Amino acid sequence: MTTKEELIAKSKKPAQDAMRLHPFYKGKIEVDLKCSVRDFKDFAIWYSPGVAEPCKAIAANKELVYEHTNKGNFVAVVSDGSRVLGLGDIGAEASMPVMEGKALLFKYLGGVDAFPICLDTKDTDEIVNIVKALQPTFGGVNLEDFAQPKCFEILDRLRKECHIPVWHDDQQGTATVTVAGLINALRYVKKDIKDVKIALIGAGAANVCIANLIIFAGADPGKMYITDSKGILHKDRIPELKEKYKEKADLAEKTNAEGRKGGIAEAMKDCDVVIALSQPGPDVIKPEWVTAMAKDPIVFVCANPIPEMWPWDAKEAGAVIVATGRSDFPNQVNNSVCFPGIFRGVLDVQASTITDEMCITAAYTIADLGAEEGIDPENLLPNMDNVEVFIRQAVNVGLKAIELGIAKKNLTKEELRAKAEEAIYRSRNVTKMLMDNDFIPEPPAE
């Protein structure tokens, strides 16, 4: 049997490998050609003088940019590095490995061409203006690792002021996959979302959005207890919150009907579910707090890089299902399983935004595929290696955008599936070809 010490040692391995392999590859993405170059005469087609003709066509009709260029598959991954992976405000340059990693996932999992745009400013107005000015180049924008409360304002303003979809993955992506995990966890323990008590530990961008999406999915807000660094949100705290943390003030108003006060232990008491996205652990949540939860407790401890408690400790304390944000533990609840498929569908129909309805559609798509394959305490959701989860999300999210009237392209289910398969399999096959031919070299031995 594996010991706790061996499990902890194993959990440190990805970080050790990252420090070895990042310098070896010197980055994770590059620009490759997608057009043929039969000989140097082709440059006259792709550049001067031939390129003038598509330029003139686009000048006459801007929508033709989607036909003559790759704009419709370009996504900007934008960050100011102010709240990176539980590491905090580490700056734009230090955020680059994360943004490159995000671009890698976009490409390999969704066939989306994404680029890191790390900004040397933390001014909200400047960030909004920069992103708006990027719209001619990109078909969508993924906001990443912005500190709160400005992350809410940046997203709200850009969704209103941009004509391309803008998405904050730390909010919407994390919320989508968390709802998917919650759906299947509740299916396993045979509880209804409208009846359960839910403690949310942490009131940052992720958990604020999670709380709202869970409510949108049918949970009773009165039975939800949300904690921040000062304790449980309740109505008496609204005056202190409403000026600087409007979103938290809104949740203090509509959650916690009984007026429960205290800290994490009090928030978790008698709850059916705890969803923690607070600070790296492993001692943020105590085993005795899990033991004090309701029958068959569900524990999501999703802080990065170390969860709020080790999953084996949660199990020993009585948790029936434990999920984390890590790929090296069972039940990864991580936005990587949703954003590539969602953006694939959004780009394929040229949707103008990404709504809560589209997020719920994606959540049920993920959960239903997991249920098809069989839910058990170690397998809540499909993993990233399941290509079908991204294809189905692309199809269903695209169809939902068409239904909501926010899509420029009206495609059938069959057409959406064909487009998603083509883009995703092309990306994977090209990567394999480059590896097979040593253009992407094998990592060096340890």
Active site residues: 47, 102
Distances 29 to 93, 221, 293, 331, 443 between C-alpha atoms, Å: 16, 42, 45, 28, 15
- CA–CA separation, 226 vs 156, rounded Å? 22
Q: Which amino acid is at 128?
A: V
Q: Which residues contact 313 (CB under 8 A, 6 or more apart)?
A: 282, 287
Place of tokens 């010991």: 3
Q: Order the strands of the 166-168 sheet from edge to edge.
A: 113-118, 74-79, 140-143, 166-168
What are the start-end ranges of the H helices in 218-355? 238-241, 246-254, 264-268, 287-291, 311-316, 339-349
Closest to 197 measured CA to CA, from 277, 316, 297: 297
- CA–CA separation, 346 vs 105, rounded Å? 16
Q: Which residues contact 438 (CB under 8 A, 6 or more apart)?
A: none
Q: Are 206 and 277 in contact (CB under 8 A)?
A: yes
- CA–CA separation, 384 vs 109, rounded Å? 8
User: What is the full DSSP assignment across 278-310?
Assistant: SS--SSSS-HHHHHTS-SS-EEEE--SSS-SS-
Q: Which amino acid is at 112?
A: V
Max CA separation in the chain (angstroms): 75
Element (H, E) at 77: strand 74-79
Kindly state the tokens that stand for 14.
């990805």
